[in-house]
Structure 1
Amino acid sequence: MNMEPNGVQQTDNALEETPTVTQRMSRQQVLTLISVASVNFSSMICYSILGPFFPYEAKQKGASQTVIGLIFGCYALCNLMGSLILGKYIVQIGAKFMLVSGLFVSSGCTVLFGMLDRVPGTKMFIALCFIIRSIDAVGFAAAMTSSFAVSAKVFPNNIATVMGSLEVFTGLGLILGPPFGGLLYQSFGYELPFIILGCVLFLMVPFNMYILPNFEATPSKDSFLRLFTCPKTVLICFMIFTLSSGLGFLDATLSIFATEKFSMSPGYVGLLLLGVSLPYCLSSPFLGFVSDKFPFIRKWLMVLGGLATALGFCFLGPIPILHIQSQLWLLIFMLAIIGFSLGMTGIPTFPEILNCAYENGFEEGLSTLGLVSGLFGAVWSIGMFFGPTFGGFMTQTLNFEWAASIEGGIGFLASFLLGTYFLTERVQTNRPSQAIDGETPEERAPLLGQSSTDDDQTLYQ
């Protein structure tokens, strides 16, 4: 590996010879893995602590279910804008600076969010929730967009395996956040969970400043619009949308449903959310390895995972037309199915979009990786805006059972469309193999009374 004299900076060309993770990793690769893992873990644990108790606390402050959904949704909307802009200009800003500054902003916003219980009045409380969450979303977008791009750049030949392994730390953040936040809230009140985790996130700033290498790259003239014009990319983005909207739906509605339906405390609601994050965390490394080892099954992993996610949401309530009584064991089982299927669908999406970009003439390098990371984050954010907003409105208008079933129906539609596209693509790919030089086998068959030997003689004449 060619490196600069300081041992940390490298260009796009240097990474073309980067060894795969199956070989012995270099120091730069090891440090990158540690850095990105710390970002995934600390960011997700701060994000996930709201689920068990914030909807209940906001409701006590006078916020309606719809407004609570909008508070969750505005985070995703600002994350969308941040991902698009930062993904486009990651080369100009610098991947390392973007990651570190994003962590710094998120840490401050996390601490400030923990002070909102002291705000008097419903309107002021809601307004500050929107403001702080919006700023926090931009910081989160900077950190995650940079981490995705850096991971793909340092490990270009094992993207799914590395990301699947890093999703263990994302899953750990999702796993530890709800029970940790719920138990702290139950024992010490609203402020302490945010203050502690905000300080932990702040400690990640100097840590990543020290260990994360700097990356040099050349800006590209490619754009999001060109990337999004590929039909395959559009359908995969629709799948990403259904995944994030499902998670956002659960964030905004599950805690209130479990509290009212099963009389669960915030601490137990946090444990209930393990049903999603634990299967996702445990399955991601395996699914990432399978996705890299057998690239041809990535598309079907996405389709089958989407169908399983749809099934899980339909039985989460379950859907009222089935006349099945809602039970705690069934709820936990469906959450586990959703968690595992999220890994099946989500892990292959990034490398598939990246391959689609390269097939359409995008240059290999940090600039394209930034575009793909930004697009992934933007579409994910759209789903995170739609999920809690739609879920809060539908739960308030109908009930949780119907809202979850409609969410599952959207996931089924995305899987059906993507599966149909892959089948059509396969038929069109196999069709040319049946013709040579534009002639079908019937057209190339000898005429009556003419042998194949005559054809050969004619050919040589």
Structure 2
Amino acid sequence: MEGEEVGIRHQTDGGQKTTYGATGSRPSSGDERTAQIAGTSDSAPVAATDDGTSGLKSAQGVPAGPSTSYSDAVGLSSRRKKAIFLCLALNSTFVMICIAVLLPFFPQQAAKKDPSDSGDVQGASAIGFIFSITPLAQFFGALFVGRIIPKTGPKMVLMIGGVLVAGVISLFGFVNDIDDWADFLVICYALRFVQGIAGAMNITATFAVLVGLFPNNVSLVAGTIRAFNGVGFAAGPVMAGALYDAGGFTLPFLVHGGIMFAGTIWLFFTLPGDAEVGTGKKGNKMFKDSFTIPWSFVWCMTMFICGTTIGMLDPNLSPFLEDEFGLSATEIGLVYLVFAGTVAASAPVTGYLGDRYINPNKLQPPSMLVLCLGLVLLGPWAETNLTSKLWRSIISLVLVSIGFSSGITLATPGILNAMHKAGYEDTLELHSNLGGTVTALWAAGLTIGPTVGTTVVSAIGFPKTNAIFSIPVLCVATLGLAVGAAYALKDLYYRQRTGTYSLERQRLLPSKDQSTAM
């Protein structure tokens, strides 16, 4: 075989396409039927396999087996896959820590460089944009990165993203030496924009790898990664504040940059090498279909609304708790810890339920209704006749965190299931493009939420703003109920006419082997 390259190929309308592969390795005897399948497109009909999945036939009529995955291609052991998962989870945690490192001390230091008065709105907005430019960059970066991963492979993207995050966060430790206000802002904007692009590279490539490694546990994997992200976002300010008190402005950035660089080196030696994984020519169609397939559209909107809601709460919850209940900074931090802890605890549980027992589509409406209820009760407005109590606000935050974590955890497998039903197979191109789409929607919500939320809060107050933001959440829940009801009626009509489930429903039913295993 030329170049000693072994790949797993499948047939497309345009001919052969390598979806996953490993250089310099050969498949075991049990996997030989999936290796280097040759032939033309008209000799590779789709066939049903014994496990209920769609297989492919080669030119010789030998079944190609179920849709390929990253682990199938490189022949990774279960132990190696767990090591990769741990490494990627910690890498995601480091990325979130680096994003949150500015929170405890940077706004105060930046305000000292503003030549205008301390109460100047323009100066405050300029400092605020240093924070909001990162999710804006993630939005554009994720859409681009999702297209290039099929061409370059996820490992290269992860390496470049990790080095960029480490370099940018280290350089940020020296911006305090810039005295000119305009130069200070330009450098900060540029560094945070690059950090957003690098973060999108890490998040999207991590999604592409993990979905390929654990195709039967997508919800659990997504939930666990969300939990690690929550830990990173909660631990980042604590670590940064302690390092700032110990060594000043520069030390937190250098330490975090060093940790991120060390994690990238660890990732380099843990991940298998990239192979020629495809051409990435279906990216535009996949992106379009993710918004035209009904359930995929529902989950895309769920992800966006969840990002918008949390984006609104981030800058406005702390002032509300201080003004309404007179909480100190430490006490406010504990309230945020309750929120982050609930997300970290509930996300893996929701993911496990979505993988093993309940169709994620059935969990979408109740998740959004719980989020809606939490928003309505958080600092209730006068018309509800409920007095504002700290205990009620904490319970409301718990409800918000449960609904929010369920929404963002199940969005990934929800979209993936919808794309499978539409005929897409598990390929790196599908995983990377969907990872880019999900990351972009999340980043768009985090960009719009703080801007709109802060404006509305300044006009009508925090309680009524929560009520307004609960309306789109309720709309998304209603949309999920409507789409679910439409599919149920369609399947009922099909069964009355044929006596069997529709083909779409059959794809969701567990096979005999899966039922026995469960």
- Under a length normalisation based on structure 1, what TM-score does the superposition of the two structures give? 0.83
Output the amino acid matched with 2:418: C
Higher relative contact order (CA 8 A, sep 6+): 1
Residues 1:95 and 2:95 are matched in the alignment: no
Identify which range, 385-394 or 403-412, moves more after superposition. Answer: 403-412
Provide, for residues 138-189 of structure 1, a one-character-per-residue CA deviation record: whole Å limited to 9, x for no partner.
Answer: 0000001000010001111221122223333223213322443455556766
> Residue 265 of structure 1: CA displacement?
4.5
Provide, for residues 323-347 of structure 1, a one-character-per-residue CA deviation record: whole Å limited to 9, x for no partner.
Answer: 5443333332222222222222222
Equivalent position of 1:447 in the other structure: none
> Residue 38 of structure 1: CA displacement?
1.5
Q: Give the one of 203, 206, 209 matched to 2:265.
A: 206
Output the amino acid matched with 1:34: L
Output the amino acid matched with 2:472: I
Distance 1:430 1:319 in 2: 43
Identify which range, 317-326 or 414-423, moves more after superposition. Answer: 317-326
Per the alignment, do residues 167 and 133 of structure 1 end up closer, same or farther by CA in structure 2, a change over 3 Å counting? same
Distance 1:435 1:270 in 2: 59
Distance 1:153 1:273 in 2: 34
Equivalent position of 2:362 in the other structure: 300
Distance 1:105 1:17 in 2: 28
Q: Give the one of 281, 284, 287 matched to 2:344.
A: 281
Residues 1:336 and 2:398 are matched in the alignment: yes
Per the alignment, do residues 72 and 317 of structure 1 end up closer, same or farther by CA in structure 2, a change over 3 Å counting? farther
Per the alignment, do residues 118 and 321 of structure 1 end up closer, same or farther by CA in structure 2, a change over 3 Å counting? farther
Per the alignment, do residues 331 and 141 of structure 1 end up closer, same or farther by CA in structure 2, a change over 3 Å counting? same
Q: Give the one of 222, 227, 238 matched to 1:168.
A: 227
Equivalent position of 2:47 in the other structure: none
Considering fraction of residues, name the structure with more strand.
Answer: 2
> Residue 201 of structure 1: CA displacement?
1.6
Q: Percent identity?
A: 26
CA contact (8 A) 2:147 2:280 kept: no
Per the alignment, do residues 67 and 316 of structure 1 end up closer, same or farther by CA in structure 2, a change over 3 Å counting? farther
Residues 1:219 and 2:271 are matched in the alignment: no
Distance 1:46 1:328 in 2: 31
Output the amino acid matched with 2:468: I
Per the alignment, do residues 218 and 295 of structure 1 end up closer, same or farther by CA in structure 2, a change over 3 Å counting? farther
Q: Give the one of 196, 205, 218 matched to 2:255.
A: 196
Alignment of 1:106-125 (within 5 A): 106-120=165-179, 123-125=182-184
Alignment of 1:311-330 (within 5 A): 311-330=373-392
CA contact (8 A) 2:85 2:210 kept: yes
Alignment of 1:244-393 (within 5 A): 244-296=307-359, 298-393=360-455
Per the alignment, do residues 170 and 183 of structure 1 end up closer, same or farther by CA in structure 2, a change over 3 Å counting? same
Provide, for residues 255-304 of structure 1, a one-character-per-residue CA deviation record: whole Å limited to 9, x for no partner.
Answer: 333344444454443332112210111122221111111242x1122221
Q: Give the one of 203, 217, 228 matched to 2:291.
A: 228
Could you list the runs of 5+ residues in structure 1 that have no partner in the other structure?
A: 438-461
Distance 2:105 2:410 in 1: 33
Identify which range, 124-133 or 340-349, moves more after superposition. Answer: 124-133
Residues 1:403 and 2:465 are matched in the alignment: yes
Identify which range, 412-421 or 95-104, moves more after superposition. Answer: 412-421
3-state SS of paired residue (1:347): helix
RMSD value, Cα = 3.2
Provide, for residues 400-456 of structure 1, a one-character-per-residue CA deviation record: whole Å limited to 9, x for no partner.
Answer: 23333322222222222222221222122212222359xxxxxxxxxxxxxxxxxxx
CA contact (8 A) 1:40 1:166 kept: yes
Distance 2:102 2:374 in 1: 23
Distance 1:256 1:7 in 2: 60
CA contact (8 A) 1:106 1:140 kept: yes
Per the alignment, do residues 283 and 361 of structure 1 end up closer, same or farther by CA in structure 2, a change over 3 Å counting? same
Distance 1:138 1:261 in 2: 38
Distance 2:398 2:109 in 1: 27
Distance 1:295 1:390 in 2: 35
Distance 2:322 2:189 in 1: 25
3-state SS of paired residue (2:388): coil
Could you list the runs of 5+ residues in structure 2 that have no partner in the other structure?
A: 1-7, 9-20, 36-66, 500-518
Output the amino acid matched with 1:213: P
CA contact (8 A) 2:312 2:453 kept: yes
Distance 1:397 1:195 in 2: 40
Distance 1:401 1:7 in 2: 62
CA contact (8 A) 2:151 2:280 kept: no
Per the alignment, do residues 185 and 417 of structure 1 end up closer, same or farther by CA in structure 2, a change over 3 Å counting? farther
Distance 1:253 1:133 in 2: 22
Per the alignment, do residues 56 and 291 of structure 1 end up closer, same or farther by CA in structure 2, a change over 3 Å counting? farther
CA contact (8 A) 1:101 1:139 kept: yes
Distance 2:190 2:77 in 1: 42
Q: Give the one of 133, 145, 153 matched to 1:74.
A: 133
Output the amino acid matched with 1:36: L
> Residue 228 of structure 1: CA displacement?
2.5
> Residue 214 of structure 1: CA displacement?
2.0
Aligned length: 432
Per the alignment, do residues 362 and 321 of structure 1 end up closer, same or farther by CA in structure 2, a change over 3 Å counting? same
Residues 1:42 and 2:94 are matched in the alignment: yes
